[in-house]
Amino acid sequence: MKVLVAMSGGVDSSVAAGLLLEAGHDVVGATLKLWGGASDSGCCSVADVDDARRVAQTLGIDHHVFNYTEEFERHVVAPFVAGHLAGTSPNPCIECNRHIKFELLFERATRLGFDAVATGHHAQVEVRDGHHLLVRGADGDKDQSYVLGYLREDQLAMLLLPIGHLNKHEVRAEAERLGLRTWDKPDSQDVCFIEASKGREVFLRQRATLTTASIVDVTTGEELGTTPAAELMTVGQRRGVVPGRDGERRYVSRVDVAARRVEVGRLEEILISTVALDADSLSFSHATLSDGSAVLVQSSAHGRAQRATLRHDGRWWLELAAPSRPIAAGQSVVLYRVDDPTVVEGAAIVSRT
């Protein structure tokens, strides 16, 4: 089988390419050039591209660099900035997967005559009753099914995830066995287009004027202080939030950039029981979820899934089985099966209530 492997320059995708080659496939590596600006973290640095190229040389496979900088700016960076300016909290890595890695790359692979695309994500694709399902990776600490939750079944049918059955220790052992330079390379956890040495605030201030806002106690209406950038405040956030007059911790419950107002409250005051979903972003796998479907909901990459009921009454929303900390608008929720919490059912972006 002719396989195009997306090689980020990290150990996971390096091993994915090596294992597929050992399995007898015709393997070609491709690294995506996404960000044209400064980068000292993530998967877009010059060093990462060089690591991917040298791994390909070690394996004896062809390696290409595909330039998607314009598309990355349009589908990932611009919405990231716009979302913050509107007071939401977008997830750029999920948008990159949705629009670049699993749309544009798959389209290109098909045009070039590849039978499959492979990545180094810690997740698995299983075929059950004739359907391709996205399943959690074997390593619970590294599972990445959350960031792949938007994949359609036709995409899953073309996707290979060669390391999904391995834990991280086993992946590094395989890389060392294969003689790959990335075997001990640290994992990247940062957003690739934001320099770790400068941070999100510097990046946003280079592109927009940020808004000073009052921090207001949601119960008493008292102003507790101000923030120099309402756009950097996230619903559910505690870090950096001043305590109330009673000395108790406060959490962000609402961000209104236009009104220059950030509302905060005690944790028990800001808990939610429903989550509104953006219908345009809703994506199901082969399963047809409908009003009343029981699901497990995960709202962050390594968060704990909680029980909920999917509702539709002209809009899509989730009814949570127990009160929960609020989920910021712009974030993604991924839905898993209740009877088999390893299987992804779908995903959606949280909208404002």
Active site residues: 96, 192
- Tell me the DSSP string of 240-271: TPPP-TTS---EEEEEETTTTEEEEE-HHHH-
316: amino acid identity, one letter: W
Residues ≥6 apart with Cβ < 8 Å to 235: 89, 252, 253, 254, 255, 326, 327, 328, 329
Tokens of 38: 């400064």
What 8-state DSSP symbol labels residue 332? E
Alpha-carbon torsion (237, 243, 244, 248), positive or negative:
positive
User: What stretch of H or E contains 19?
Assistant: helix 11-22
If 0-12 CB within 10 Å is exposed, 13-18 middle and 19+ buried, where does residue 264 land? buried
249: amino acid identity, one letter: R
Tokens of 120: 């180094």
Nearest to 125 by CA among 236, 23, 16: 16
User: Is-contact 332 180, C-beta < 8 A?
Assistant: no
User: Is-contact 226 241, C-beta < 8 A?
Assistant: no
Tokens of 219: 């119960």
Report how far residue 157's alpha carbon sits from residue 29's, in angstroms, rounded to the nearest whole number: 20
311: amino acid identity, one letter: R
Map residue 145 onto helix, strand or coil. helix
- Tell me the DSSP string of 103-128: IIHHHHHHHTT-SEEE---SEEEEEE
- The values of phi and psi at residue 223, to 5°, are -85, 120
